[in-house]
């Protein structure tokens, strides 16, 4: 069986609505975003992310405790344990 190749972006669900990101002209897909910005939102790459992100500069991972991701939480706890 031959696999189907995707031919471009998924079909937009919005009834003529546009993405809420300023300057984006793609059609609405979900949560007010086009398919491209929706994926970025899910990954926490947009300013208003789907989840709270780590407080360390440049880290966009999901917060696990005390405003830090698991990785930075472990680094913070390691020196205290020694």
Which residue's entry shows tokens 């546009």?
A: 18
pLDDT at position 80: 63
Using one digit for the tens of pLDDT, what is the confidence trace for 65-82? 888 888 888 887 777 655
Per-residue DSSP letter, 34: -
- What is the Cβ-side half-sphere exposure of residue 45, based on CA atoms within 13 angstroms? 8
Q: What is the dihedral of CA 42, 46, 50, 55, to 10 degrees?
A: 120
Q: Where are the domains of the chain?
A: 12-50, 51-82
**Per-chain mean pLDDT for the chain:** 77
The answer to whether residue 39 scores a pLDDT higher than 80 is yes
């Amino acid at each position: 069986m031959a696999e189907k190749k995707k031919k471009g972006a998924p079909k937009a669900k919005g009834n003529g609505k546009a993405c809420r990101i300023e300057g984006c002209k793609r059609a609405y897909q979900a949560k007010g975003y086009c398919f491209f910005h929706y994926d970025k939102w899910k990954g926490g790459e947009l300013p208003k992310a789907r989840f709270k992100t780590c407080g360390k500069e440049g880290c966009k991972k999901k917060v696990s405790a005390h405003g830090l991701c698991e990785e930075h939480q472990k680094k913070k706890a390691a020196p205290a344990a020694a």
